[in-house]
Chains A and B, each alone.
Chain A
Amino acid sequence: MHEMSITRSMLEIARREMEVNGIHALRKLKVRIGELTAVEPDTLKFCFDVAIKGTPFQGAVLEIEEVPLGGRCRVCGGEVRITAFDNRCPKCGSTDIERVSGHELDIISMEGD
Chain B
Amino acid sequence: MMLLFEIRAKITELYQRHDLIVKTALKFLLMFLSFRKLSKVIGYNTGLSGFGVILALSVFSAVLPPSLMVFVAAAYIFLQLITASVLIAVTVVLIFLVMYLFFLRFAPKEGVTIIATPLLCSMGFPYVVPLFIGMFGNIFSIVPAACGAVVFYLLRAVKNNIITIDELKAAKDQALALYMKVLDDLLKNPHMYIVMAIFAVVIVVVVLLRAIKMDYAFEISLGVGTGVMILSYIILGVFMYDMNLSIGKMVFGSLISMGIVFVCLFFYRVLNYSAAEHVQFEDERYYYYVTAIPKITAKSPRRTIRKVMSRSEDTPGDEDEESAIEAMNSMLANKNNPYRQELTAGDAKRLRKDLASNPEPDYDEDEDDEVVITGPKSRGGRKKAPFDSIISKLRGIGALLPAKKKRTEKPVRPMDIDEEEEEEDVNEQLYFAEDSEDGEEDEKLR
A joins B in a complex: no
Q: Which residues of A contact B (CB under 8 A)?
A: none
Q: Which residues of B contact A (CB under 8 A)?
A: none
